[in-house]
Structure 1
Amino acid sequence: MCAPSLDSIVKILIDYRPALHERTGVGEHIHHLAEALTARSQSEPDVSVTLFSSSWRHRLPSDAIAGAKIVDRHIPVRCLNWFWHRVQWPSIESVVGKFDVAHSPHPLSMPSRHAAHFVTIHDLDFLAHPDHVSAEIRRDYPKLVERDAARADRVIVPSRYTASIVQTQLKIPTDRIVICSNGAPLWAPRHVPIYDGHVLFVGSIEPRKNIKTLLGAYRALLSRRAHSPDLVLAGHVPRTARDMLGALDSSPLDRKVRVLGYVSPLERYELYRNASMLVMPSLDEGFGLPALEAMTVGVPVIVSTRGALPEVVADAGLIVEPDDENAIQKAMARILDDRFYVNAAVARGLLRARSYDWGRSAHTLFTAYADALRERRG
Structure 2
Amino acid sequence: MHQAVGALSRLPTSDDAGERVELTVFSASWRDRLADSADPLPDGVGWIDRRIPFRTLNRAWRRMEWPPIEMLAGSAFDVVHSPEPLLIPSRDAACVVTIHDLDFLDHPERTEREARRDYPRLVRQHAHRADRIVVPSAWTAGEVARRLEVPPGRIAICRHGAPDLAPRASIPADGHLLFVGTLAARKNVAGLIDAYARLVQLRPEVPPLVLAGAMPDGPAPDWRTRCDRPPLAGRIRFTGYVDGPTRDQLYAGARALALVSFDEGFGLPVLEAMACGVPVVASNRGALPEVVGDAGLIVDPDDTEALAGALDRIITDDALAERCVARGYEQVREFTWEASARALCKTYREAVAARGVG
Question: Under TM normalisation by the shorter chain, which class is it?
Answer: over 0.9
Write the deviation string for residues 70-119 of structure 1: whole angstroms up to 9, x where unpaired.
11222222111111112111110111132111111110111111111100
Write the deviation string for residues 12-51 of structure 1: whole angstroms up to 9, x where unpaired.
xxxxxxxxxxxxxxxxxx1111110111164468431111
Q: Please, which runs of 5 or more residues in structure 2 have no aligned partner?
A: none
TM-score normalised to the size of structure 2? Answer: 0.92
Equivalent residues of 2:183, 2:213 under 8 A apart = yes
Mean Cα deviation higher: 138-147 or 160-169: 138-147
Partner of 1:50: 24
CA 1:241–1:121 in 2, change beyond 3 Å: closer, same or farther?
Answer: farther
> Which AA in structure 1 matches 2:326?
A
Matched, 1:238 2:216: yes
* 1:175-186 matches, cutoff 5 A: 175-186=153-164
CA distance in 1, matches of 2:320, 2:174: 14
Write the deviation string for residues 307-338 of structure 1: whole angstroms up to 9, x where unpaired.
00011111111111111111111111111110
Aligned-pair CA distance for 1:293: 0.7
TM-score normalised to the size of structure 1? Answer: 0.87
CA 1:249–1:296 in 2, change beyond 3 Å: closer, same or farther?
Answer: closer
Write the deviation string for residues 202-250 of structure 1: whole angstroms up to 9, x where unpaired.
1111111011111111111111111211111112222236454752564
Matched, 1:102 2:80: yes
Equivalent residues of 1:50, 1:70 under 8 A apart = yes
Partner of 2:64: 87
SS at match of 1:140: helix
Partner of 1:66: 43
Partner of 1:40: 11
Write the deviation string for residues 113-162 of structure 1: whole angstroms up to 9, x where unpaired.
11111000010012233454466544431121011111111000000000
Partner of 1:9: none
Moved >6 Å (runs of 4+): none
* 1:316-335 matches, cutoff 5 A: 316-335=295-314
Q: Please, which runs of 5 or more residues in structure 1 have no aligned partner?
A: 1-29
Equivalent residues of 1:118, 1:154 under 8 A apart = yes
> Which AA in structure 2 matches 1:276?
R
Matched, 1:337 2:316: yes
Partner of 2:278: 299
CA distance in 1, matches of 2:356, 2:109: 43
CA distance in 2, matches of 1:67, 1:255: 50
Partner of 1:358: 337
CA 1:201–1:182 in 2, change beyond 3 Å: closer, same or farther?
Answer: same
Aligned residues: 349
Percent sequence identity over matched residues? 48
Equivalent residues of 1:197, 1:274 under 8 A apart = yes
CA distance in 1, matches of 2:107, 2:122: 17
Aligned-pair CA distance for 1:376: 2.7
> Which AA in structure 1 matches 2:26?
F
Equivalent residues of 1:206, 1:241 under 8 A apart = no
CA distance in 1, matches of 2:22, 2:219: 42
* 1:1-378 matches, cutoff 5 A: 30-40=1-11, 42-43=13-14, 46-57=20-31, 59-61=33-35, 63-97=40-74, 98-133=76-111, 137-240=115-218, 242-244=220-222, 247-248=225-226, 250-252=228-230, 253-377=232-356
> Which AA in structure 2 matches 1:51?
V
* RMSD, aligned α-carbons: 1.9
Mean Cα deviation higher: 131-140 or 294-303: 131-140
Equivalent residues of 1:156, 1:177 under 8 A apart = yes
CA distance in 1, matches of 2:219, 2:205: 27
SS at match of 2:5: helix
Equivalent residues of 2:228, 2:234 under 8 A apart = no
